[in-house]
Amino acid sequence: MLFARNLEFSPGSEADLDDPENAPRGSSIVIGYGRFGQIVAQMLHAVDCSVTLIDKKPSQIELSGRFDTKVYFGDGLRIDVLRRAGAEEARLIIFCADDRSIDAAALAPIVEAFPNARVLTRVFDRRQLLAIDGAGTVGAVREVFESSIALGAMALQQLEVAPREIEDVEMALRQLDAERLGMQISEGDLGAGRDYRFVAGGGRQAASVLEALRERRAAAKRAREEAEADQAA
Amino acid sequence: MLFARNLEFSPGSEADLDDPENAPRGSSIVIGYGRFGQIVAQMLHAVDCSVTLIDKKPSQIELSGRFDTKVYFGDGLRIDVLRRAGAEEARLIIFCADDRSIDAAALAPIVEAFPNARVLTRVFDRRQLLAIDGAGTVGAVREVFESSIALGAMALQQLEVAPREIEDVEMALRQLDAERLGMQISEGDLGAGRDYRFVAGGGRQAASVLEALRERRAAAKRAREEAEADQAA
């Protein structure tokens, strides 16, 4: 019915509905086609962005071939390899390899050589996040950070913590973690911001974030009770 | 104001508002206190669940000590070590170590020995998910799966894909991935379900999931246009 009515107002709109999604969105280069790169590549395929895959492990290339995926051989940190892979026209260059040695000195020349491309990268830990700071990349994710939050959330579910509270804990943790990272980067010291963690008994800063969340939940509970009392009156 | 009005209806409710959150929620044992276990432990601390930490790397224990965290030394796969850590009373035993050798044969005796505890585990990849199948654990997360989705989402943002569409892609990928895993587990074959991936040009199954999402988005767009047209009329 929605469809029929729509035709009255904008005839012919159906034919071009698919356009923005089907149009080539430029191309991307994914370096490292293991567990990490495979998922990133799938997401790019899903929006019809063309993907060139590079890996320096022959075994990975061979395995991928058996799954009908063409992966090119090469070291994706080399400018000449990237150029041959089409980096000058690429919109994205994404480092997905398991390589904790990649730092700002390795990435900066790539960012500079291919100004049309945005560079994103997987990192090992917060130490590597500090090490790539200043390279000009537009995004980075610590490789086990998100999965550790997911397993933590599963654990809280098992303790029958309410979904809403789990969300709050996750949000608070992300906020504290981001602030801690900011301090670690600006001070160049991994020891900075150690209060910005949830510890047994509550870190000083963490405790106040959690307290704010508790107050928010308490206020929501009071509002619910009030609404129920109003209905009962 | 909510607060003042609430007092009229349920006086004294403020004092016990904190109760469910402050009550001890039982205890947990986290095995492996590296990048992964640290985040899981923080989330448990955030809900005041007591946490006993075990690691078998002295260097990790020493490092954690410098960050004011007590980590016990031991092999968390051993029943006697777990028992000494209080596994009989624990509600959760969570394996967060970087150990892709853990399989159902290693986990099943632990699940059996401590019936009060739910067991969760980090795994290396889908191969290890298959290997732990049948052990009786209640949850597992592939260690880089969530972060790879997060980096993929960042990549789509850079391509200016709409947030709603990124959500759809993520949902579709998770759905396909779960179905593929189900087939891999039931057939005991990693090659099963290879159609359940987004590939260049679209996998058969993936294409139909994406097509369904495209139709949903198109319907939403038509509804929006209709609403706008109604307002303009």
| pLDDT surpassing 50 at residue B171 | yes
Nearest CA in chain A to B230: A9
- Which contiguous run of DSSP H or E holds residue B63? helix B58-66
* Cβ burial B41-55 (10 Å sphere, 16+ → b, else e): bbbbbbbbbbbbbbb
Which of the residue ranges A135-139, B184-188, B215-219 has the most confident prediction, judged by mean pLDDT? Answer: A135-139
A160, B49 contact by CB (below 8 A): no
- Cβ–Cβ below 8 Å for B158 and A91: yes
| pLDDT surpassing 50 at residue B46 | yes
Of B1 and A77, the one with more pLDDT: A77
- Chain mean pLDDT for chain B: 84
Task: Chain A: give the shortest CA distance to residue B162, in Å.
Answer: 10
| pLDDT surpassing 80 at residue B140 | yes
- Cβ–Cβ below 8 Å for A39 and B68: no
- In A, which residues are within 8 Å of B67 by CB distance? 191, 194
Q: What region, left, alpha or beta, does residue A135 occupy, with left being phi > 0 and alpha being psi -120 to 50 degrees? A: alpha
Looking at residues B13-28, what average pLDDT do you find? 44
What's the CA gap between A48 and B165, in Å, rounded?
Answer: 12
B90, B120 contact by CB (below 8 A): no
Q: Note the pLDDT of residue A26.
A: 55
Q: Note the pLDDT of residue B60.
A: 87
Nearest CA in chain B to A53: B200
Of A68, A142, A158, the CB nearest to B147: A142
Q: Note the pLDDT of residue A211.
A: 77
Task: Chain B: give the shortest CA distance to residue A114, in Å.
Answer: 15
Nearest CA in chain A to B93: A155
Q: How confident is the model at residue B40 (pLDDT cuts 50, 70, 90)?
A: very high
Can you give the pLDDT of all 233 residues of chain A as single tens digits?
Answer: 333 333 333 333 333 333 333 334 459 999 999 999 999 999 999 988 999 999 999 888 888 888 778 888 889 999 999 998 889 989 999 999 999 999 999 999 999 999 999 999 999 999 999 999 999 999 999 999 999 999 999 999 999 999 988 999 999 999 999 999 999 988 988 889 888 888 887 666 777 777 777 777 678 778 878 887 877 77
Task: Chain A: give the shortest CA distance to residue B157, in Å.
Answer: 10
Concatenate the DSSP letters of all residues of chain A into one string: -HHHHHHHHSTTTTTTTTHHHHS---EEEEE--SHHHHHHHHHHHHTT-EEEEEES-HHHHHHHHHTT---EES-TT-HHHHHHTTTTT-SEEEE-SS-TT--HHHHHHHHHH-TTSEEEEEESSHHHHHHTTTS--SEEEETTHHHHHHHHHHHHHHTT--HHHHHHHHHHHHHHHHHHHHHHHHHT-TTTTTTSS--TT--HHHHHHHHHHHHHHHHHHHHHHHHHHHHH-
Looking at residues B52-76, what average pLDDT do you find? 88
- Cβ–Cβ below 8 Å for A9 and B159: no
Q: Note the pLDDT of residue B216.
A: 76
- In B, which residues are within 8 Å of A6 by CB distance? 222, 225-226
Q: Note the pLDDT of residue A100.
A: 96
Nearest CA in chain A to B92: A155
Of A40, A149, A194, the CB nearest to B148: A40
Looking at residues B168-179, what average pLDDT do you find? 93
Q: How many CB pairs under 8 A join A and B?
A: 266
Q: Give which of A121, A130, A125, A174 is closest to A152, Cα–Cα.
A: A174
Looking at residues B127-144, what average pLDDT do you find? 96
- In B, which residues are within 8 Å of A26 by CB distance? 159
Question: Is the ipTM above a cut-off of 0.85?
Answer: no
What's the CA gap between B110 and A20, in Å, rounded?
Answer: 53
Q: How confident is the model at residue B203 (pLDDT cuts 50, 70, 90)?
A: low
What is the per-residue pLDDT across B103-119, written as a single tens digit (0 to 9) for each?
Answer: 999 999 999 999 999 99
Q: Note the pLDDT of residue B224.
A: 80
Q: Note the pLDDT of residue B12.
A: 38
What is the per-residue pLDDT across A100-147, written as a single tens digit (0 to 9) for each?
Answer: 999 999 999 999 999 999 999 999 999 999 999 999 999 999 999 999
Range name among A200-209, B79-88, B168-177 with the lowest pLDDT average: A200-209
Q: How confident is the model at residue B195 (pLDDT cuts 50, 70, 90)?
A: confident
Q: Note the pLDDT of residue A45.
A: 92
Provide, rounded to the nearest whole percent, the portion of chain B with pLDDT above 90: 54
Helix, coil or strand: residue B140: strand
